[in-house]
A = this chain, B = another copy of it.
Amino acid sequence: MKKIKQIFYLGIKGSNSFLAASLSAGNKVKLSGLASFEEIFRSVEKESSAAGILPLENSLSGSIYEIYDLLTDSKTFITAETEVRINHALMQKERTGLQKIRYCLSHPEVFRQCRRFFSDNPSIETVPVADTASAAKMLKELGPDTACVANPAAAAVNNLRIKKEHLEDNRNNYSRFITVGRKLKQHGNKISLMFNLKHVPGSLYKALSPYARLGLNLTKIESRPIPGRLWEYLFYVDFELNNGKHGFDEIITAMKMLTKNLKVLGRYDKYDKIKNS
């Protein structure tokens, strides 16, 4: 496998994808922000020494089908996964008392996830902006009565002081990011697949029989209606290979006989533990 020299991520320095890229990448890898998920896929397709990092699911808001769609249509594969715990941190240019903060910039969804903090501090007016990394960047130009909520990487990048971490109401808030590259890996204990099934009783049951027979652990299964095709469903499945006892080829051959349009989305090592941000 060619050495990765560059990782593309969504947004600007300090975005959540930037944070995930920073936590995953080695020291000598260049991180480059792009404006859309699609541009990330197009850039990775062009450059064999590049990878892209993308959010695939969140513990509160579920799978992001848009990424699955782009992955399906692209010539890239999942080569790694990582999980990052969300940390909505309040930050300022110079640390002051909470009562001195009059405005707070962030993404609207962040304010929604931090309802308790803002209802406990009603004197702080929330100001919606396009994304958290832009909020942190804007803060540099604003007065001491304005704060923002962003991730700790955004504070580091913009030289801001963190006043309070984890404003979010629900601490079980983490995102799973995938790394994509041009080559399907030949090793790794975790596999991601997608396939279609006819919408007839028992079709899924039959399609899962090889996993039961070979004793393989499914770690994800998700159905998705195919728009405009009422009687067919798309499935996303992740599973773990069984210490090499049952091979990759064996399960793929079995699955191809039981499903339609099977595609291997990637092979990679299962993440060890959730990373704190």
Q: Which listed residue, B201, B215, B218, B222, touches A211 by the CB 8 Å rule? A: B201
List the one stretch of A41-49, A59-67, A186-194, A249-257 in contact with chain B: A59-67
List the one stretch of A107-115, A149-157, A177-185, A258-266 in contact with chain B: A107-115
Closest to A217 in B: B201
Q: In the docked arrangement, what's the CA distance between A212 and B217, Å?
A: 21
Q: Which listed residue, B66, B108, B201, B220, touches A215 by the CB 8 Å rule? A: B201
Min distance, Cβ A67 to any Cβ of chain B, angstroms: 10
Closest to A273 in B: B230
- Interface band, chain A: 35 or more
- Given A61-B64, A129-B128, answer yes or no on A223-B227 (Cβ-Cβ < 8 Å): no
Q: In the docked arrangement, what's the CA distance between A220 and B62, Å?
A: 14
Q: In the docked arrangement, what's the CA distance between A219 and B203, Å?
A: 12
Asked if B108 contacts A130 (CB within 8 A), the reply is: yes
Residues of B contacting A205 in the complex (Cβ-Cβ under 8 angstroms): 205, 208-209, 211-212
Q: In the docked arrangement, what's the CA distance between A209 and B202, Å?
A: 8
Residues of B contacting A36 in the complex (Cβ-Cβ under 8 angstroms): 112, 115
- Segment 48-72 of A: residues with Cβ below 8 Å from B: 57, 59-66, 69
- Segment 122-165 of A: residues with Cβ below 8 Å from B: 126, 128-131
Asked if B204 contacts A208 (CB within 8 A), the reply is: yes
Residues of B contacting A66 in the complex (Cβ-Cβ under 8 angstroms): 60-61, 170
Q: In the docked arrangement, what's the CA distance between A60 and B66, Å?
A: 5
Residues of B contacting A130 in the complex (Cβ-Cβ under 8 angstroms): 108, 111, 126, 128
Closest to A176 in B: B225
The reply to whether the CB of A121 lies closer than 8 angstroms to some CB of chain B is: no
The reply to whether the CB of A97 lies closer than 8 angstroms to some CB of chain B is: no
Residues of B contacting A225 in the complex (Cβ-Cβ under 8 angstroms): 59, 219
Closest to A126 in B: B130
Q: In the docked arrangement, what's the CA distance between A130 and B204, Å?
A: 41
Q: In the docked arrangement, what's the CA distance between A182 and B126, Å?
A: 34
Residues of B contacting A9 in the complex (Cβ-Cβ under 8 angstroms): none
Residue pairs across A and B with Cβ atoms less than 8 A apart, 12 shown, are A59-B65, A60-B64, A60-B69, A107-B128, A108-B130, A128-B130, A199-B219, A204-B218, A205-B205, A205-B212, A208-B208, A221-B223
Nearest 5 Cβ contacts at the A-B interface: A202-B212, A205-B212, A62-B62, A62-B63, A172-B227
